[in-house]
Amino acid sequence: MQQRRLQLVVVPPPVRAGAGQIQLRWGATIYGHVELSLCPVDRRGLLLGLHVEPRHRRRGVGRVLARAAAARGGGFSWSANPPDEADAAALWARVGAPRAPASPCSHQEAAGLRIEPHWPK
């Protein structure tokens, strides 16, 4: 039975250091998700993407997701893909996403992640 309350749901990666997700959900409704990779060996975190459904924007969903990701990789060295949506740059800044362009470790490179090391100027 779906619980009718706001909850963070972790979707683990299929392989170590692969791409996993944290979703913010209300029952079956997904308000948004953050895609991330954590390497426990090198203690590296990669923020791969952050998406908030348009109708649920401007309610702090992105911030909750970014904080959940940071908490899961507490003490990790974080870097990030550039924001992938036109209006995401402001969100990126607001949620405190890492400003370092993605610098994956060897495990993350081997996991077949979508990595964009070059940020637009």
Determine if 30 is a binding residue for Zn ion (CB under 5 A).
no
| CB of 74 or CB of 120, closer to Zn ion | 74
Find the part of the chain contacting Zn ion (CB under 5 A) among 18-26, 27-35, 90-98, 103-111. Answer: 103-111
Give the interface size with Zn ion as a residue count (CB under 5 A): 5
Cα 55 from Cα 22, distance rounded (Å):
19
- 65 touches 34 (CB < 8 A): yes
Determine if 105 is a binding residue for Zn ion (CB under 5 A).
yes
Interface with Zn ion (CB under 5 A), residue from 22, 39, 111, 115? 39
CB contact set of 20 (below 8 Å; sequence gap of 6+): 10, 11, 12, 13, 35, 36, 37, 38
Pick left, alpha or beta for residue 93 (phi over 0 → left; psi -120 to 50 → alpha; otherwise beta).
alpha
Instruction: Name the minimum Å distance from CB 95 to Zn ion.
Output: 24
Determine if 84 is a binding residue for Zn ion (CB under 5 A).
no
Instruction: Name the minimum Å distance from CB 52 to Zn ion.
Output: 29
- 37 touches 79 (CB < 8 A): no
Residues of this chain that bind Zn ion (CB under 5 A): 39, 41-42, 105, 107
